[in-house]
Amino acid sequence: MKSLPWVNYNSGLSLLDLPERLRKKENHTIIKKRTGGFLSKSQEEECSDMKKYVSIDIGGTAIKYGIINENGEILSRGERKTESYKGGPSILKKASEITEIFMKKEEISGICISTAGMVDTKKGEIFHSAPLIPNYTGINFKKTLEAKFHVPCEVENDVNCAGLAEAVSGAAMGSRVSLMLTIGTGIGGSIVVDGEVFHGFSGSACEVGYMHMLGSDFQTLGAASILTRKVAEWKNEQEEVWNGYHIFEEAKKGDELCIRAIDEMCDVLGLGISNICYVINPEVVVLGGGIMAQEEFLKKRIETAVEKYLIPSIACRTRIAFAKHRNDAGMLGAFYHFCRCREGKKQEKDTR
């Protein structure tokens, strides 16, 4: 595989950089639909000569997928329901179907997968999964898809992919140590050090949602889902009446209970972030997940909470940022992970 021109594989720090043309919004973060008018004719011709990769981002609710070229540009995208209740074998089948569709249209050089669950990145296999996806543990994407399509496949945890995407070309670009937190129905974490995801000894580093705090755990107290439960309970209403968007809209209008629920969530996030920062000392903490689209409303509140729990000498050197790639983070991160894996294997082969 051709080495990507924007990846500094030989740097002593293994830092990843992008050229100016890929940092520009119109050339990198906007979705490039080949039929949607985003690419000029010359760009179309250039892209047609590049290697292309299928990238699949498997979440609990939706599977996002697309084609990415070797410059890290998303050329097309789609989405379908995960139907996680059908279990792991069903998700593997969907990934295979998505790949097969693209294989019939394009010459594909590899398959990049971002997925929920704890992933053995060497085997490309799920070794632990929450009950949300039954029978997911033991599903091996790499072995199955490589055998069927005869192209390399690499697999990584979805939050690690998001963290890598932000470190390579997003909100944490240029940092040596970054922490990514995704706040949704739960809380996921990822640590990227010198351009490499830190997996820990057994591949389960930064499972911060399970971190014990205040008689419970981080994600039970600080995830976005706590907002709807609290507001509904305080207002004596059904939980189905409320969602995150509704709560923030009412808070902006001055609803005291909605503001209180958000403030309590931000305080928990500040405490959790601070505890992690005391251990890993990141340069930047990137916050992602659907709720973090409310950056204007949340940023100052979270910064204040972090400053409350971190000693000043650390707080002043810790930047809070909000994810830039959002819905594209999983696909981009899976692609970046694929490139790192393939280059690593090439270097191993060359040294033998």
Is residue 277 in a domain? yes
For residues 103 and 197, membership in a common domain is answered with no
For residues 183 and 95, membership in a common domain is answered with no
Contacts of 79 (CB under 8 A, 6+ apart): 62, 63, 64, 65
First-to-final CA distance of the chain: 18
| pTM of the entire predicted model | 0.85
What digits encode the pLDDT tens for the residues 43-70? 555 556 789 999 999 998 899 999 999 9
For residues 186 and 71, membership in a common domain is answered with no
Is residue 100 in a domain? yes
For residues 149 and 225, membership in a common domain is answered with no
CA distance 140 to 13: 31
For the cut 80, the answer to whether the pLDDT of residue 346 exceeds it is: no
Tell me how crowded residue 226 is: count the other CB atoms within 10 A of its CB: 17
Is residue 168 in a domain? no
For residues 313 and 332, membership in a common domain is answered with no
For residues 53 and 82, membership in a common domain is answered with yes
For residues 118 and 224, membership in a common domain is answered with no
For the cut 90, the answer to whether the pLDDT of residue 325 exceeds it is: yes
Is residue 46 in a domain? yes
Is residue 82 in a domain? yes
Q: Looking at residue 283, which CATH number applies to its domain?
A: 3.30.420.40
For residues 187 and 318, membership in a common domain is answered with yes
For residues 145 and 197, membership in a common domain is answered with no
For residues 98 and 218, membership in a common domain is answered with no
- Identify the band that residue 233 occupies on the pLDDT scale cut at 50, 70 and 90: very high
- Identify the band that residue 5 occupies on the pLDDT scale cut at 50, 70 and 90: very low
Is residue 117 in a domain? yes
CA distance 265 to 333: 28
On average, the pLDDT of the chain sits at: 87
CA distances from 57 to 66, 204, 277, 331 (A): 9, 19, 28, 5
What digits encode the pLDDT tens for the residues 289-310? 988 999 999 999 999 999 999 9
pLDDT value at residue 344 = 77
pLDDT value at residue 1 = 42
Which domain does 89 fall in, by range? 20-163+327-351
**Cα–Cα nearest to 333, from 219, 178, 187:** 178
For residues 136 and 33, membership in a common domain is answered with yes
Question: Poorest-confidence range of 127-136, 154-163, 343-352?
Answer: 343-352
For residues 194 and 319, membership in a common domain is answered with yes
Count of structural domains, the chain: 2
> How much is the average pLDDT of 312-333?
96
